[in-house]
């Protein structure tokens, strides 16, 4: 009973805090105007929430009248997100097999390759995943602007879940007695090494993309060179497993050609082309101004 008198003021403070959070989705100048209007008009908190929510929705819809957020959604979140999900899934499976075999039996998991080759593959794939994720995140943030909250969520869920969903739908993976809470955690949280690396790197890239929009030309060239090198290395190393399986099967398994192995890595690398183009254009404009 003693806490009842403070309940109203406390709820009012919480609601005005919600108004403040919603107003942060507006441009800085517009946000100051809206806050000033609320302070001068003295309108109720319910009316303030309705007005600012309506304004935020209209501004968010207006962001999609240009092509940049659509390219972020379709080109990064969907097109690049699909192969990136398979790459992260492959890294999780390969790393999980090696760690499980080592900690359970103290031996190297038999992949028909040497431990050194498996270690080199896992290391190169992890570094490549970091590079691809950061680049995709940067271009996503650069293209999306204030719509990044939506494009990022789609990209994040696409990378975390699309490979898992594909394996379930194809029958290659069967969920036995699934628990709803566990499924929700798996679908939304980075609970394994590869998805944690992706999440951390892509989120950092998106934050930098929203803030900077364009990389300096030299940094873009360095990043493009690193992505090219690791794309070639990962494609070449993935051929080790194809060759080993072909030898083990006495020629019954012919493996996957290098062009088909390269294709998903090229698709997930396309954002570096956009990043290079924008960096060169900015560099040209800066030279003309000076």
In this structure, are 58 and 83 located in the same domain? no
Examine the pLDDT at 6 and tell me if it is beyond 50: no
**Average pLDDT of 248-257?**
78
Last residue of a domain, one of 13, 38, 63: 63
Last residue of a domain, one of 27, 45, 63: 63
Task: List, for residues 123-138, the tens digit of each pLDDT value.
Answer: 999 999 999 999 999 9
Higher pLDDT, 34 or 265: 265
Last residue of a domain, one of 63, 94, 110: 63
In this structure, are 144 and 215 located in the same domain? yes
In this structure, are 53 and 89 located in the same domain? no
Q: Count the domains in the chain.
A: 2
H helix and E strand count, the chain: 12, 0
CA distances from 281 to 55, 214, 246, 256 (A): 34, 10, 47, 39
Residue 2 burial (C-beta neighbours within 10 Å; 0-12, 13-18, 19+): exposed
Task: List, for residues 168-191, the tens digit of each pLDDT value.
Answer: 777 766 766 667 766 667 677 778
In this structure, are 45 and 113 located in the same domain? no
Is the Cβ–Cβ distance between 286 and 218 less than 8 Å? no
Examine the pLDDT at 197 and tell me if it is beyond 70: yes
Instruction: Please give the mean pLDDT across all residues of the chain.
Output: 85
Is the Cβ–Cβ distance between 271 and 141 less than 8 Å? no
In this structure, are 17 and 90 located in the same domain? no
Task: List, for residues 260-276, the tens digit of each pLDDT value.
Answer: 999 999 999 999 999 99
Helix (H, G, I), strand (E, B) or coil at 65: coil
Lowest mean pLDDT among 19-23, 154-158, 246-250: 19-23
Residue of 217, 195, 224, 221 whose CA lies nearest to 131: 224
In this structure, are 131 and 252 located in the same domain? yes
In this structure, are 58 and 182 located in the same domain? no
In this structure, are 184 and 269 located in the same domain? yes
In this structure, are 72 and 206 located in the same domain? yes
In this structure, are 232 and 271 located in the same domain? yes
- Residues 6+ positions from 97 with CB-CB distance below 8 Å: 109, 111
In this structure, are 92 and 25 located in the same domain? no
The domain containing residue 57 runs over which residues? 4-63
In this structure, are 213 and 228 located in the same domain? yes
């Amino acid at each position: 009973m003693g806490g009842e008198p403070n309940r109203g003021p406390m709820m009012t403070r919480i609601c005005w805090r919600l108004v403040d959070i919603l107003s942060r989705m507006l441009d800085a100048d517009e946000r100051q105007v809206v806050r000033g209007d609320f302070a001068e008009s003295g309108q109720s908190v319910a009316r303030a929430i309705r007005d600012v929510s309506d304004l935020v929705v209209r501004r968010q819809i207006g962001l999609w009248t240009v092509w940049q957020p659509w390219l972020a959604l379709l080109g990064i979140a969907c097109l690049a997100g699909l192969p990136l999900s398979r790459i992260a899934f492959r890294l999780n499976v390969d790393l999980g097999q090696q760690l499980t075999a080592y900690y359970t039996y103290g031996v190297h998991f038999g992949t028909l390759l040497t431990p050194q080759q498996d270690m080199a593959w896992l290391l190169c794939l992890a570094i490549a995943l970091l590079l691809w994720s950061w680049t995709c995140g940067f271009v996503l943030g650069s293209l999306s602007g204030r719509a990044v909250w939506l494009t990022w969520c789609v990209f994040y869920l696409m990378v975390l879940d699309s490979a898992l969903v594909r394996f379930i739908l194809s029958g290659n993976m069967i969920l036995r007695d699934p628990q709803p809470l566990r499924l929700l955690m798996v679908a939304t949280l980075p609970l394994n090494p590869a998805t944690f690396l992706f999440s951390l790197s892509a989120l950092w890239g998106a934050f930098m993309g929203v803030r900077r929009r364009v990389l300096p030309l030299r940094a873009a060239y360095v990043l493009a060179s690193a992505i090219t090198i690791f794309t070639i290395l990962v494609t070449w190393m993935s051929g080790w497993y194809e060759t080993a399986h072909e030898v083990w099967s006495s020629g019954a398994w012919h493996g996957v050609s290098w062009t088909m192995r390269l294709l998903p890595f090229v698709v997930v690398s396309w954002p570096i082309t956009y990043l290079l183009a924008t960096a060169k254009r900015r560099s040209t404009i800066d030279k003309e101004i000076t």
